[in-house]
Amino acid sequence: MPGWLETSVTVLTLAAMLVGLFGLVIPIFPGLVIIWLAALGYGLAHSFTTLGWIMFAVMTVLMIIGNVMDGVLMGAKALESGASKSAIWIALAAAVVGSLLLSPLGGLLLAPLALFLAEMARGHDKQEAWTITRGLMTGWGWSFVLRFIIGLVMIGLWMIWAWV
- With CA atoms as reference, report the closest residue to 40 among 8, 17, 66: 17
Measured CA to CA in angstroms, residue 129 lies from 3, 51, 79, 98 at distances of 59, 50, 12, 20
How many CA atoms does the CB half-sphere of 152 hold within 13 Å?
A: 5
How many CA atoms does the CB half-sphere of 1 hold within 13 Å?
A: 12
| Crossing angle of helices 103-121 and 126-163, rounded to 10° | 150
DSSP 82: T
Round to whole Å and give the CA distance between 105 and 27.
Answer: 9
Q: Is the pLDDT of residue 121 over 70?
A: yes
- Give the pLDDT score at 104: 64
- Structural domain span for residue 36: 3-163
- Give the pLDDT score at 25: 81
Number of structural domains the chain divides into:
1
Amino acid in position 87 = A
In three-state secondary structure terms, 1 is coil
Query: What is the tens place of the pLDDT at every residue in 1-15?
Result: 788 888 899 999 999
Give the pLDDT band of residue 39 (cuts 50, 70, 90).
Answer: very high
Lowest mean pLDDT among 39-43, 90-94, 118-122, 158-162: 90-94
Round to whole Å and give the CA distance between 124 and 112.
Answer: 15
Phi-psi region of 29 (alpha: psi -120 to 50; beta: other; left: phi over 0): beta
Query: What is the tens place of the pLDDT at every residue in 85-113?
Result: 999 999 989 888 887 888 767 878 898 99
